[in-house]
Amino acid sequence: MTVWTQVGTGGLGVNTEPVAHVPIASSGPIFEGSLVRWPTAPGCPTGVVGRVGSSQVSVLFDGEHEPKLFSARAGVLERVVLAGMVKRINTGDVGVIQGMATAAPPRWQVFVSGKVITVAEVDLRPHVLDDPRSRAEGGRLGSARQFALAVTARRYEVEQLTNDLVSLGESRVDLKPHQISVVHRVVSDYPHR
C-alpha cells in the first residue's frame, strides 16, 4: 500500500480551481463507507473509505484494485455531498436523492424506478447528464479545438461509410484508377461465371 500525504500547501491543496463536472464536496466527517474525492490528484478521483483509524484512512478509488492509505490529519480527502441525480454502481439505475437515512454508516433515501429505497453510499455515485443541453447548462462546452477535432473525426467516419475509394487510401499498394474501376465492375456484376 502507498501512503499519501499533503505537504506544504497549508491544507488548501495544489489545484484549487473549481471543476464544473465534479460534484460539490465538503470537509465533513469521514466515516467508513463514505464517498470521498482526492481533489489534488490528477483527474480528481472518487472512492470509498474502507477503514478509518486514529492516524490513517484507507480509500479504494474507483477503477483501482488496491486501497491507498492517507494520513488522517493531512486533510487531502473531501467528502462528496450527494445531491440531485445519482447512479447506483451495482445496478446502473439512475435515481434522485430524497434525503439521508443514516449518517454512520452513510445511507440515502433514493427515488429509483418509481419507488423510494434506502441505498448505502458505497453503491452511489453522482450522475452527470452528458447530453448537449446539460453540458451547456453546466458550462462544460469544451474548446474550439476539441469541437474541430470531433467534427473532423465524424466527417472521416461518414466518408468511410459512403465513399468506396476512401478505404483504399491506407493500402500499402499503389493502385491506378483503371484498376479500381475494373475491380468495382467485377464485384458489382454478381453472379460471376
- How many residues are given for the chain? 193
Q: Are residues 40 and 7 in the same domain?
A: yes
CA distances from 68 to 20, 45, 64, 150, 181 (A): 26, 12, 9, 36, 62
Residue 134 within a domain: no
> So what's the pLDDT on residue 25?
43
Q: Are residues 48 and 122 in the same domain?
A: no
**Nearest-angstrom CA–CA distance, 143 and 19:** 15
Three cell numbers, residue 103: 449518517
For residues 88 and 95, is the Cβ–Cβ distance under 8 A?
yes
Q: Are residues 13 and 64 in the same domain?
A: yes
Q: Are residues 69 and 1 in the same domain?
A: yes
Short-list 43, 56, 23, CA closest to 124: 23
For residues 159 and 167, is the Cβ–Cβ distance under 8 A?
no
Cis peptide before 191 (omega within 30 of 0): yes
**Nearest-angstrom CA–CA distance, 18 and 45:** 14
When divided into structural domains, the chain yields a total of 3
56-105 per-position pLDDT tens digit: 888 999 888 999 898 888 888 888 888 888 998 888 889 999 988 888 88
Q: Is 47 helix (H, G, I), strand (E, B) or coil?
A: strand
pTM: 0.53
168 pLDDT band, cuts 50/70/90, is low
Q: Are residues 95 and 49 in the same domain?
A: no
For residues 110 and 94, is the Cβ–Cβ distance under 8 A?
no
Can you name the residues that pair with 19 across neighbouring β-strands?
Answer: none
Residue 171 within a domain: yes
Short-list 30, 16, 137, 8, CA closest to 84: 137
Q: Are residues 71 and 58 in the same domain?
A: yes
> So what's the pLDDT on residue 151?
92
CA distances from 81 to 4, 14, 25, 120, 139 (A): 23, 21, 5, 14, 20
Percentage of the residues of the chain whose pLDDT score is greater than 70: 80
Q: Are residues 8 and 70 in the same domain?
A: yes
More confident residue, 122 or 25: 122
Domain that holds residue 1: 1-81
Residue 135 within a domain: no
pLDDT higher than threshold 70 for residue 23: no
